Amino acid sequence: MFKLHRQEYYDRLNLVRSQGDYEQWVTFFLKGIIWTSESALETIKNVLAIAEEHKQLLFQKKISSPLAVVLLDHLQVRPHISVQEIAEQFHSTYTTSQALINQFVDVGILKEITGKKRDRRYSYWKYLECLSEGTQ
């Protein structure tokens, strides 16, 4: 919000400094709260839609392990993961965790982000893109 209205922000702040006009500043500030709240609400709706879309994708692709649904929920808390972290977090074997992550990569839920052969990390990219909209 600030980047979009930066000049107006400074102009209104100068009016407070030069003319003591606080009312216009308070009005602008309250509008900013409304803009930010509306943006946050839209982001929440989009995040929930992504989660639902990916749950449906799991069922469509027959990735029906209970761990798959739990992992999908976990990705909203920790969107960058490794196979080792998943194995430790969910008390599963490394092989099981790797197979599940591979399935998530195959259907486009996760992306490998390191480019390495070992110690790979994965990103819940669509979720992160949604959260970062408007921050560039």
Contact 72/55 with Cβ under 8 angstroms? yes
Domain count, the chain: 1
Burial class (CB in 10 A: 0-12, 13-18, 19+), 61: middle
Q: Tokens at residue 8, please?
A: 């107006």
- 47 belongs to a structural domain: yes
- 1 belongs to a structural domain: no
Q: What is the CATH number of the domain that holds 120?
A: 1.10.10.10
Chain position carrying tokens 């099981």: 96
- 66 belongs to a structural domain: yes
What are the tens digits of pLDDT across the range 67-105? 999 999 999 999 999 999 999 999 999 999 999 999 999
What are the tens digits of pLDDT across the range 109-127? 999 999 999 999 999 999 9
Find the domain containing 22 and state its range: 6-132
pTM reported for the whole predicted model: 0.81
What are the tens digits of pLDDT across the range 20-72? 999 999 999 999 899 889 989 999 999 999 999 999 999 999 997 889 999 99
